[in-house]
């Protein structure tokens, strides 16, 4: 197992040393490491599945919801999909060294603005072992070292995957400590990682509001929150209702335990009688627990729907549960989304270009969809190979965090003896 037994400080120091070498590694070497990861994933399917089965059988995973167990569980298809994602990252252009700007200054100095790695990226994540591979692939390609801290109940699976990554790095002639996995611990261990100012350049937490709050209270390193997704689907008065039902059901049920799944369905009052009974019946038949406001419940057409509490509008359920509200206008829908949403992914279903434009302009979110499911907010779906998470912030990175979001830039200036007068 590749879980480090060193302290967070020692692990981060090792990653910092590895980052210096990786930052100048040629693209061919980084791609060779990624190809080795993809190959080893295929070769070691049985080993990874064995580790995953042990995690799922462990008492530490016994209290997980069905949705969280789904996030933890791996299959041969999911492992092979990880390998495909790694190959997709390998096929992308290397961002390191990309020239963003060049000009000759009045002084005669040649000034170039070029893309460079951040250095050491730490990622704290819950449940999903595929994050181990996605994050490693993106940081290796972008020239960064990574320190991973997964859930204690995924320790065996993450360990098997991290060991595979380290083997691939060594095979490609790159430092193994470019990928380090810490054991999942308590808040004291998290605080140690979040305060490594001399060695960690960026910390990215992937998890719920509890993890976000725990880090906000202690972090002294820069943080990008790949945070909660309280996402909405709004059915506009001018929607194609068949399309709207298809989008709403997919956004909620396709994989309910992920951050881009819909948690609230908003329906314009003009179409509730025509839309709600059929849509709610399909959601119910898919196993979704429904709660709603008074008008949604009155228009449910015999479908059982509980009374929504105020806290339901704020909740990221990460499960087969959906809150349903009726709104009187596009403006009311926008107000509801901006009040309760987490700035992740929001969708409108409408045939009106004007309504789509108003919703897109008015909603404050990293990704806004017209006539499509929120489930597409994903680095792989966006053509980035994979993602480290989806940022709901506005500075440095927003939406899927891919290769370029894991870089910064430096100015490289060349002269021929100039001095400033």
Whether 383 maps to a domain, the answer reads no
CA distance 141 to 121: 13
145 band by pLDDT with thresholds 50, 70 and 90: very high
Are both 356 and 408 inside the same structural domain? no
- pLDDT, tens digit, for every residue of 368-410? 999 999 999 988 888 887 888 888 888 888 898 999 999 999 9
Q: Is the pLDDT of residue 1 over 50?
A: no
Are both 98 and 177 inside the same structural domain? yes
Parallel/antiparallel/unpaired status of strands 390-391 and 399-400: antiparallel
Whether 420 maps to a domain, the answer reads no
Range of the domain at 83: 3-226+388-414
Lowest pLDDT segment from 47-56, 62-71, 220-229, 402-411 = 62-71
Whether 304 maps to a domain, the answer reads yes
Whether 210 maps to a domain, the answer reads yes
Q: Is the pLDDT of residue 52 over 60?
A: yes
- pLDDT, tens digit, for every residue of 13-50? 999 999 999 999 999 999 999 999 999 999 999 999 99
What SS3 state is found at 383?
A: coil
The average pLDDT across 354-358 equals 98
- pLDDT, tens digit, for every residue of 123-137? 998 878 999 999 999
Helix (H) or strand (E) holding 345: strand 345-349
Are both 211 and 62 inside the same structural domain? yes
pLDDT at 211: 79
Whether 208 maps to a domain, the answer reads yes
Q: Mean pLDDT across the chain, nearest whole number?
A: 93
Lowest pLDDT segment from 71-75, 95-99, 106-110, 263-267 = 71-75
Are both 40 and 124 inside the same structural domain? yes
2 band by pLDDT with thresholds 50, 70 and 90: low
pLDDT at 396: 84
| Strand ranges inside 90-163, DSSP E | 99-104, 110-117, 120-125, 145-149
Are both 61 and 151 inside the same structural domain? yes
pLDDT at 75: 96
- pLDDT, tens digit, for every residue of 297-307? 999 999 999 99
Structure tokens at 3: 């879980």
- pLDDT, tens digit, for every residue of 239-261? 999 999 999 999 999 999 889 99
- Whether residue 65 contacts residue 72, with contact meaning beta carbons closer than 8 Å, is answered with no
Residue 401 pairs in a beta bridge with none
Judged by phi (left if over 0) then psi (alpha if -120 to 50, else beta), residue 287 lies in left
CA distance 140 to 32: 10
Our count of domains for the chain comes to 2
Are both 20 and 94 inside the same structural domain? yes
The average pLDDT across 341-349 equals 96
Q: Is the pLDDT of residue 319 over 60?
A: yes
pLDDT at 5: 57
Are both 162 and 65 inside the same structural domain? yes
CA distance 396 to 368: 19
Judged by phi (left if over 0) then psi (alpha if -120 to 50, else beta), residue 301 lies in left
CATH number of the domain to which 282 belongs: 3.40.309.10
Whether 381 maps to a domain, the answer reads no
- pLDDT, tens digit, for every residue of 159-175? 999 999 999 999 999 99
Q: Is the pLDDT of residue 78 over 90?
A: yes
Closest CA to 10 of 204, 217, 177, 190: 177
Which strands make up the sheet holding 231-235, listed edge to edge? 306-307, 289-292, 321-327, 262-268, 231-235, 345-349, 367-370
Judged by phi (left if over 0) then psi (alpha if -120 to 50, else beta), residue 233 lies in beta
Structure tokens at 216: 């906000």
Are both 260 and 276 inside the same structural domain? yes
Are both 24 and 107 inside the same structural domain? yes
The average pLDDT across 328-348 equals 97
Are both 21 and 114 inside the same structural domain? yes
The average pLDDT across 173-196 equals 88
pLDDT at 292: 97
- pLDDT, tens digit, for every residue of 274-299? 999 999 999 999 999 999 999 999 99
pTM of the model: 0.85
DSSP assignment of 218-254 equals: H--S-B--B----EEEEE-TT--HHHHHHHHHHHHHS
CA distance 370 to 348: 5
> What radius of gyration, in Å, describes the C-alpha atoms of the chain?
23
Per-residue DSSP letter, 182: E
Lowest pLDDT segment from 2-6, 29-33, 117-121, 168-172 = 2-6
Whether 421 maps to a domain, the answer reads no
Are both 108 and 171 inside the same structural domain? yes
Are both 276 and 247 inside the same structural domain? yes
pLDDT at 392: 86
CATH number of the domain to which 151 belongs: 3.40.605.10
DSSP assignment of 361-378 equals: HH---SEEEESS-GGG-S
Whether 181 maps to a domain, the answer reads yes
């Amino acid at each position: 197992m590749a879980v480090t037994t060193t302290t967070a400080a020692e692990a981060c120091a090792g990653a910092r040393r590895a980052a210096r070498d990786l930052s100048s590694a040629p693209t061919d070497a980084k791609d060779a490491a990624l190809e080795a990861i993809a190959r080893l994933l295929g070769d070691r399917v049985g080993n990874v599945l064995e580790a995953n089965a042990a995690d799922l059988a462990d008492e530490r995973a016994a209290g997980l919801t069905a949705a969280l167990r789904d996030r933890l569980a791996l299959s041969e298809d999911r492992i092979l999909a990880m390998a495909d994602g790694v190959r997709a990252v390998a096929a992308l252009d290397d961002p390191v060294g990309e020239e963003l700007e060049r000009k000759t200054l009045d002084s005669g100095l040649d000034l170039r603005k070029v893309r460079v790695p951040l250095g050491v990226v730490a990622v704290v994540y819950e449940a999903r072992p595929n994050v181990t591979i996605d994050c490693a692939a993106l940081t290796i390609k972008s020239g960064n070292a990574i320190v991973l801290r997964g859930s204690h109940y995924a320790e065996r699976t993450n360990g098997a995957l991290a060991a595979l990554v380290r083997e691939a790095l060594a095979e490609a002639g790159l430092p193994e400590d470019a990928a380090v996995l810490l054991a999942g611990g308590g808040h004291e261990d998290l605080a140690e990682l979040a305060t490594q100012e001399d060695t960690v350049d960026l910390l990215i937490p992937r998890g719920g509001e509890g993890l976000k709050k725990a880090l906000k209270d202690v972090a002294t390193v820069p943080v990008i929150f790949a945070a909660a997704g309280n996402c909405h689907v709004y059915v506009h008065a001018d929607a194609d209702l068949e399309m709207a039902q298809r989008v709403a059901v997919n956004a909620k049920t396709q994989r309910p335990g992920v951050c881009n799944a819909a948690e609230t369905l908003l329906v314009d009052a003009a179409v509730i009688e025509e839309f709600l009974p059929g849509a709610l019946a399909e959601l119910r038949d898919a196993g979704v627990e429904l709660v709603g406001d008074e008008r949604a419940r009155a228009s449910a057409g015999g479908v059982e729907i509980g009374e929504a509490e105020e806290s339901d509008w704020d909740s990221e359920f990460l499960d087969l549960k959906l809150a349903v509200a009726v709104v009187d206008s596009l403006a009311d829908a926008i107000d509801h989304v901006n009040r309760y949403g987490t700035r992740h992914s929001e969708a409108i279903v409408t045939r009106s270009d004007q309504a789509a434009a108003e919703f897109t302009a008015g909603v404050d979110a990293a990704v806004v969809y017209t006539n499509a499911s929120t489930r597409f907010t994903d680095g792989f779906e966006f053509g980035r190979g994979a993602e480290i998470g989806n940022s709901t912030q506005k500075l440095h990175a927003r939406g899927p965090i891919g290769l370029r979001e894991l870089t910064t830039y430096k100015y490289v200036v060349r002269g021929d003896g100039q001095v400033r007068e």
